[in-house]
Amino acid sequence: MATKVLAVLLTSDKHAHLVRHVWDRVRIYDADVIVVTEDNQKTAIEAAQGLPLEVATVDYKKLDEYMTHPHFRHSITHWRFRDLFSIAETRNYYLGLAKDYDYLLHIDGDVLPPEDGLDKLLAEKKDHIGGIAYSDRPDKHKGWYVDPRPTEEQLQAGSVYECAIIGGCFCLESNRVINIPYILPDLQPVASDAIPRCLDIVKAGFKNYCHAGVICQHLT
């Protein structure tokens, strides 16, 4: 029986031009693809509707209510849409969509995965494994959102190693862990919404892994 994969792409108008590229890089695996965006992101919705995939929208007004929460600790101006999609409730929404699948693939809208990225993650047969985000920006590097970060030797070898934290930029998880929810602690910024869930995955008896051979281009 073929492995069933649900790929979820969280995007916005700012990154609508990447929808086609991401689709081209995951459709060859016969993965079902759902694009999740705010219901006021017309360009992103139009880009997704031009492809044979499903589009799910979330209520931007409801998310705006979260954004004005007094405990929200991150800028709501410069990275507004990326922050919106870090909200645990939105991620939990698509966790619920994956219950009939073997694996769920998380893809953030500002990430361009390698063409063989999903193939490499699936080959490891891990319950929770992610690739490495890479940016040309001087304040970022290969391996941010990963703890511990990969060594140069691991990057050169494309090693797979156990880690405490793996970010959700391009991350695959099995149906054994999709029932572990993202928590809602004061609406954490996007860089840290995966942290408590990774810790909960370990508490549940599973492990987090980083694949240093799956390097994704992070565009923001």
Which residues contact residue 115 at a Cβ distance below 8 angstroms, ignoring those fewer than 6 apart?
A: 25
- Quick: pLDDT tens for 92-129: 778 888 888 999 998 888 888 888 899 999 999 999 99
Strand positions, DSSP E, 49-200: 54-58, 103-108, 111-112, 128-134, 146-147, 160-163, 165-166, 170-174
For the stretch 168-216, pLDDT in tens is: 789 999 999 988 888 755 444 444 567 788 889 999 999 999 999 999 8
Question: What is the band of 78 on the pLDDT scale with cuts at 50, 70, 90?
Answer: very low
- What CATH number does domain 5-218 carry, 3.40.50.300, 3.40.120.10, 3.90.550.60, 3.50.50.60? 3.90.550.60
Asked if the model's pLDDT at residue 158 lies above 50, the reply is yes
pLDDT of residue 214: 93
Give burial (CB, 10 Å; 0-12/13-18/19+) of 60.
Answer: middle
d(CA 129, CA 212): 10
**Are the CB atoms for 94 and 182 separated by under 8 Å?**
no
More confident residue, 203 or 89: 203
pTM: 0.81
More confident residue, 165 or 29: 165
Element (H, E) at 91: helix 88-97
Domain range annotation of the chain: 5-218
Whether the per-residue pLDDT at 91 is higher than 80: the answer is no
